Every structure is written in structure tokens, then in C-alpha cells.
Structure 1
Amino acid sequence: MASFVSTSSSEIILHVYTLSPPPPTPSSSLFDKFGSFFHSKIMTPTGYGTYHTSIDVNGFNYTFAAAASIIKTKATDPTSPSSISSCPDGCTFTTSIILGPSPSASTVQNILQNLLKTFTPTSYHLLNRNCNHFTETFSTSLIPSSTFPLPSYPRYINRAAKTATIFINHGDVCDIEVEGYNAAGRERLSKEEKVKKGKKKELTEEQKEALAKLKK
């Protein structure tokens, strides 16, 4: 049964909407009929459903969309027609999940300014950087945690996209851990940066000669 948390709550609230293809009609093509069957009977039951998400923080709702970057609106009942109409086509409200306590307004603003550097109007990608990448990155930056991934953010929400990038990768895949921690000012290096930082700098010939003289 779908349930939601009051928008007056002082908690960070994740709203989850299920995305479904339109039901087939007698005039639907064979491809559309197969797509609907595959999504509802195979993908969703095996944990690879498709979802849209947004986050409420301090009375405002945030999401990420193509050609629009990060969208901020007044938080409302997520089951209302106005909320659902602002979601992608085929959305059905599923549930609301409390992720943790809300930080101060100034903290939220600072984090958003940092996230705007990577969640730009042109960076949206269905597999690499979608609305679910944003809400998980945003919540990771909002909630101080010594572990990643954030325990309160459900793994199933973006499993389909994350799995697909293993096989289809067009670059600029959102690194949730790195981008979330860095947006909050808690440095977390990518694998490439860790390797680069861990390498010892090669000494020049002059430095080697100077070091040899010191050892005499």
C-alpha cells in the first residue's frame, strides 16, 4: 500500500514513483506489447523496475530533469495530481521514505551549489546521470555517514540503470560517493585520483644529486 510522510516533517524525505510503460491496446505494435510484458513481468519482479524520485528538505522538493538541471519547488503531498503531473509520463506514486534529519537551510544551499557543477542542464543521461543518481548523491551529501552507500537509500531504485552502465557506458557516469562527499566538503577521491595521489613523485636529476650530497 502506498504511503507518504507529511511535508511538514523536519526529516529528509525521499518520494518514489514507479515508472511504467502505457498498457498495450489492441492497436499497439508487437514491440510495444513485448516491452510492456518484459517490464511488468520480468524486470520489476526481479528487482529491476524503473523509478522516478524526488527529495523533500526543509519544505522544498528537489529533483533532476533533462534540460532543466536541479528543479526546486514547494513541497506538496506527493500523491496529489499536481505532484504526479510534474513527474515523467507513466508515473505512479509508490512510497515515501525518511532518510534522516534535515540539515540547516544554509547547508542545503551550499551543497546544491556544489552539485550544480555536475548536475547541469546538459548532463542528464537516462543510464549515467538520472534523477535517481541525483537524489542518492544529494542525500549522501546531506547526511553525514561513515559508510557508503547510505543505508536508508533503497538499492532497488536505480539498480536497472547502474547495471546497464556495465554494458552500455557513454562516459560521465555519476560517481555518487565521490560527488556526494565532495559536495558536502568531505573529501572522497575517485579510484583514479587515489592511484594518482598515491604515486611517489619522480625526483629530477638535480634533486637526486642534492639528496646524495646530504647523505654523505
Structure 2
Amino acid sequence: MGGAISVGAAATGEYPVVLNVYDLTPLNNYVHWCGLGIFHSAVEVHGSEYSFGAHDLPTSGVFEVEPKSCPGFLYRSSIFIGLTSLHPLEFRDFIQRMASEYHGDTYHLISKNCNHFTDDLSTRLTGKPIPGWVNRLAKLGKLGM
């Protein structure tokens, strides 16, 4: 996977990092305006989108798809997070190392979900977290544990 790098990004040595947010339920159309919702998120960088999902094996749950087309989810919006100085080849090494920290069998809906991954990835790449509303429901769930 991977797409073309913009001429501006190549010239400056900085590349955009974008959060793509998806709805997990049609109810989000109603509760989103109250600051709630159940969302899936992924980070788009260098023409591909990266996220984290569950499976039963002790191997990476990080996966790569075409931007804004994650299977099983309805695309909602994109949010510019910031810029990264990692060149595509440096990023490939970086994401492979980071993927080893996110095994599919460690996924947890409240404490280690796709939004935790995208927050970690965004922060490492840009120094900026994802917006709080994206993972608000998990944070509220953690309070009830």
C-alpha cells in the first residue's frame, strides 16, 4: 500500500498526519452532538491508514488499509493532527516496531482499543494527541471499572 507524497511535503521534509474517524453505529448521528459516540479511528500517513484490532493470536493487531475505507465501518470525518518528519522508509521501520507493542490478543474495549493506538501513534509522530471525544466512551467505561 502507500500513495504519492505531495511535492510540498517532500520539499519541507514534513508529512501530514491525519486521524480518520469512523462510526461503529448509526446512533452516533444522534449522540455525537452530545459529545458521545462509539468510534473507530485510524491514522493516515504517507498514503496509507493504520489502526489496531483484536484477534486471538499473540501477534500484531496493527493493520494497514486504503485511507477512509476501513472494512466494516462507516467513514465519518478526517482531522488534521500535525506533521511528522519521518520519511516513508523511516516511518515503515517505526510502525513495524510500534506494531510489536500492540498484539491482537491484548486488545481491550476499555483499556487498549483502536483509539488508544491512534492516540499513541499520533502523539509519537506529532507530539499531539487525538481529540478527547473520539475515545470518550472508553474513558467513561474505565471510571466504572
Give SS of 2:50's match.
strand
Counterpart AA for 2:25? S
* Higher relative contact order (CA closer than 8 Å, sequence separation 6+): 2
2:99 is matched with which residue?
116
CA distance in 2, matches of 1:7, 1:99: 19
Q: Which moved more, 1:54-63 or 1:98-107?
A: 98-107
Deviation at 1:101, TM superposition (A): 1.8
Runs of 4+ in 1 over 3 A off after TM superposition: 6-10
CA distance in 2, matches of 1:7, 1:135: 22
For structure 1, the 5+ residue unaligned runs are 1-5, 22-35, 169-216
Aligned-residue Cα RMSD (Å) equals: 2.5
Q: Does the CA contact (< 8 Å) of 1:69 and 1:119 recur in 2?
A: yes
1:12 is matched with which residue?
17
2:113 is matched with which residue?
130
Deviation at 1:99, TM superposition (A): 1.2
For structure 2, the 5+ residue unaligned runs are 7-14
Q: Does the CA contact (< 8 Å) of 1:111 and 1:141 recur in 2?
A: no
Q: Does the CA contact (< 8 Å) of 1:52 and 1:132 recur in 2?
A: yes
Deviation at 1:119, TM superposition (A): 0.7
Aligned length: 130
CA distance in 2, matches of 1:155, 1:7: 30
Q: What does the per-residue CA deviation read over 1:124-166, in whole Å, with 9 as the maximum and x for residues that have no partner?
A: 11111111111111111111x3xxxx26x21100011012112
1:159 is matched with which residue?
136
- Whether 1:50 aligns to 2:38 is yes
- Whether 1:69 aligns to 2:93 is no
Deviation at 1:46, TM superposition (A): 2.5
Give SS of 2:142's match.
helix
2:125 is matched with which residue?
142
CA distance in 2, matches of 1:121, 1:61: 17
Q: Does the CA contact (< 8 Å) of 1:65 and 1:71 recur in 2?
A: yes
Distance 1:114 1:135, change over 3 A: same
Identity of aligned residues (%): 28
CA distance in 2, matches of 1:130, 1:141: 17
